[in-house]
Chain A
Amino acid sequence: MLLEKNKFKAAKIAPQLAWLSALFFTSAGAVEFDISTKLAVEQRYFFKDALYEQQFDHSQVSAFIESELYWSWNDGFDSIVFKPFYRVDSQDDNRQHGDIREFAYVHAADDWELRLGIRKEFWGVTEFQHLVDVINQTDGVEDFDGEDKLGQQMVNLSLVKDWGTVDVFLLPGFRERTFASEQGRLRPSLVVDKDNVTYESSAGQQHLDFAIRWAHSIGDFDIGSYWFHGTNREPVLTPSSTPSKLGEELVLQQHYNQMDQLGVDVQATLGSWLWKFEGIYRKTSDDSFVASQSGFEYSITGVFDSNLDLGLLTEYAWDSRGETDLGNSGATFQNDIFLGARLAFNDAQSSELLVGIGTDLDHSADSFLLEANRRFGDNFKASVDVRLLQSSDRFDSTYTLRDDDHAQVSVEWYF
């Protein structure tokens, strides 16, 4: 009886104790530590001479290091992760940069989780465009697919209910998007100015952004929906003159307005078919619009009587703002179709090949991408990427990149 009573008491104070120990005494014996690092060297080659005077011509060499330090205790229910990143680049000063991708503390309980610090949060289901993914700023100098993100400060409470998971986000400390420097390729004709950035909110970078998301799996359907209120991650770029060594210089000035955005993402997983939909409604002081990305992925396993898996992808992008032309600042993907094929070799080296094309159905703008990679030994991975861009429509964003076709070879070392 006495034992029972004590047990009851212990059970009652245990959560508080766990919480305290989580915050203060990380009882040394129980803390697990792990470090892993990725070191990569990349060689890019642009097939054509630069379109703009100050840009470098063909070859760009770059290297980056990313480490992950991880401490956990309380059976992994408490953890701290620290993930610094730094890149050096032979040509583009803006691409030579560092970032803290993650530096966060996570406490997990049975039906809730608290995540504090710098983190990355991904939302969405489609492959060719990530419309609903809105929490982190794009690290634009990393790659032009927009999949690399800057770390975002946040307080995130996640509640797991029978009817789905609700995530609440408080996001202090806005990050400005990164852009190529004057010497860099893959940029518009005018250079984006890193300084003189303006904000709609008087709080500027200190504006506290807010988001709430519900996500649930119901049978074959995975559904998510959210509302975001805060600083628009996409800047409005306006040509303006700025003082320079040679007098006045024309640059693109970044302006970040406030936005409210509703987003929905749905995936239906039906046998070999994945049906995908992403939709957003965004309202800013300038305009409001609706955009969607939808399509499917169909997988064929063991093609040609082999171990190879083939995935066929089709996606369609639509945007209510329409195309950009004289007097209308529209969207890049307003009536665009994307086709892709992914081949997984299922070999010991995990060889993979992805080929994709995108085309604008309203005007001339096409893109082609090829990504191939495989492992060498246990700790190395090599990749080849080819990107071709073409447009004769001077209002399309691809037009300014029309001479930026390139191939990249990279070797990654994991240790």
Chain B
Amino acid sequence: MLNKKMLMSSLSAIALTLVTNVSLALTPAEQKGLDISTESKKRDLGWQDSTADMLMLLRNKQGQESIREIKIKSLEVDNDGDKSLTIFNKPRDVKGTAFLSFSHPVEADDQWLFLPALKRVKRISSRNKSGPFMGSEFAFEDLSSFEVEKYRYKYLADEEVNGLMTFKVEQFPIDENSGYTRRIAWLDKQEYRIQKVEFYDRKNSLLKTLNFSQYKQYLNKYWRADVQNMVNHQSGKSTELQWSNYQFKTGLKESDFNRNSLKRVR
């Protein structure tokens, strides 16, 4: 019943986007870019909720490493962006810090931070999309959930990446607070999984490249990469994300994503 409702609502959402875009008279390349992105999102709907552990390895030019250990709980929300709870375990001085986010496709996200030393919950500005997450090469916007409405699209070409045939699609952020003029994403034709993304800064020069590897399929449907490697070409630094313990449909509810749970969560 729930699945049916979700399918209906996602279908209507897709229909709506299509209708809106038709009225804007997209070029064939733009239409194809949008269709690919819509299909990619559609294939990842219905996971309901998930939990996962993330290890972040920050490397500077000299090869020195520092690590971040993070747990992420997410809840899929119909007709809106996901809700997520991010819990920090390492570095140890920020252990117990937690971050609650209600993301929205177009509007600004609602975000709260829990500071364990003061036991203080602070509502924070979500304007800082382009800023680095925990000093890493990932910006906040690189880690937020993918929503079709966040970009305009243009299909560029078919190319081979990581030994797979892919669609090469250019993505232009709608939000003026984005740190990028555009991104170029490569999605494999077989499963519509993102294989690689290039990020172009506000001056439109190549800033970063993100590579996805070791994809695994969960519940016979949802693909997640175990490793994401971001290289910053301008600073020479890089950050590798290593994901583990992915679990879906664990029974998380709305009540696991409020200020009380933010204060309690570990």
Interface assignment of B120: CB less than 8 Å from any CB of chain A? yes
Q: How far is the CA of A348 from the CA of B90 in the complex (A)?
A: 12
Task: Name the contact of B131 in the complex, choosing from A72, A110, A271, A302 (C-beta under 8 A).
Answer: A302
Interface assignment of A381: CB less than 8 Å from any CB of chain B? yes
Interface assignment of B135: CB less than 8 Å from any CB of chain A? yes
With CB as the reference atom, state the residue of chain B lying closest to A219.
B110
Binding-face segment, B3-11, B189-197, B215-223, B252-260? B252-260
Q: Could you list which residues of chain B lie within 8 angstroms of chain A, going by C-beta atoms?
A: 58, 60, 66-67, 90-95, 108, 110, 118-125, 127-128, 130-132, 134-136, 179, 253, 255, 258-261, 264-266
CB contacts under 8 Å to B, within A276-318, are 299, 301-302, 307, 309
B108–A271 CB distance below 8 A: yes
How many residue pairs bridge A and B at CB < 8 Å? 103
B119–A120 CB distance below 8 A: yes
Interface assignment of A346: CB less than 8 Å from any CB of chain B? yes
Interface assignment of A239: CB less than 8 Å from any CB of chain B? no
Q: How far is the CA of A106 from the CA of B258 in the complex (A)?
A: 16
Q: How far is the CA of A271 from the CA of B130 in the complex (A)?
A: 14
Task: Name the contact of A271 in the complex, choosing from B67, B119, B127, B135 (C-beta under 8 A).
Answer: B127
Q: How far is the CA of A52 from the CA of B127 in the complex (A)?
A: 50
User: Separation in Å of the A244 CB from the closest CB of chain B?
Assistant: 38
Q: Mark A207-245, 1 if CB is under 8 A from B, else 0.
A: 000000001010000100000000000000000000000
Counting chain A CB atoms within 10 Å of each CB, which of B134, B253, B260 scores highest? B260
A375–B264 CB distance below 8 A: no
Counting chain A CB atoms within 10 Å of each CB, which of B93, B259, B265, B266 scores highest? B93
B136 proximity list for chain A (CB < 8 A): 348
Q: How far is the CA of A36 from the CA of B89 in the complex (A)?
A: 11
Given A70-B266, A147-B118, A271-B108, do A378 and B90 touch, yes or no (CB 8 Å)?
yes
Q: How far is the CA of A180 from the CA of B71 in the complex (A)?
A: 42
A307–B90 CB distance below 8 A: no
A272–B92 CB distance below 8 A: no
Per CB-CB distance, the 9 closest pairs between chain A and chain B, nearest first, are A414-B92, A348-B135, A301-B128, A122-B119, A346-B132, A122-B120, A110-B255, A120-B119, A272-B127
Q: How far is the CA of A108 from the CA of B253 in the complex (A)?
A: 13
B266–A412 CB distance below 8 A: no
- Not counting A38-B93, A348-B136, a sample of 16 additional A-B residue pairs whose C-beta atoms are within 8 angstroms of each other reads A36-B95, A70-B266, A76-B265, A108-B261, A122-B121, A217-B123, A217-B259, A222-B123, A299-B127, A307-B132, A348-B135, A349-B135, A350-B91, A378-B91, A379-B93, A414-B91
Given A217-B110, A302-B130, A381-B93, do A274 and B125 touch, yes or no (CB 8 Å)?
yes
With CB as the reference atom, state the residue of chain B lying closest to A379.
B92
Interface assignment of A267: CB less than 8 Å from any CB of chain B? yes
B179 proximity list for chain A (CB < 8 A): 302
With CB as the reference atom, state the residue of chain A lying closest to B265.
A76
B108 proximity list for chain A (CB < 8 A): 271
Counting chain B CB atoms within 10 Å of each CB, which of A38, A272, A348, A415 scores highest? A348
A378–B131 CB distance below 8 A: no
B90 proximity list for chain A (CB < 8 A): 378
Given A158-B260, A299-B128, do A346 and B110 touch, yes or no (CB 8 Å)?
no
User: Separation in Å of the A216 CB from the closest CB of chain B?
Assistant: 10
Q: How far is the CA of A307 from the CA of B259 in the complex (A)?
A: 29
Q: How many residues of A contact B (CB 8 A)?
A: 48
Q: How far is the CA of A127 from the CA of B234 in the complex (A)?
A: 36
Q: How far is the CA of A110 from the CA of B257 in the complex (A)?
A: 11
Q: How far is the CA of A217 from the CA of B265 in the complex (A)?
A: 19
Given A217-B110, A299-B127, do A378 and B258 touch, yes or no (CB 8 Å)?
no
Interface assignment of A79: CB less than 8 Å from any CB of chain B? yes
Q: Mark A382-415, 1 if CB is under 8 A from B, else 0.
A: 0000000000000000000000000000001011
A67 proximity list for chain B (CB < 8 A): none
B134 proximity list for chain A (CB < 8 A): 350
Interface assignment of A143: CB less than 8 Å from any CB of chain B? no
With CB as the reference atom, state the residue of chain A lying closest to B66.
A348
Q: Mark A350-371, 1 if CB is under 8 A from B, else 0.
A: 1000000000000000000000
B253–A110 CB distance below 8 A: yes
Interface assignment of A198: CB less than 8 Å from any CB of chain B? no
A34–B266 CB distance below 8 A: yes
B260–A346 CB distance below 8 A: no
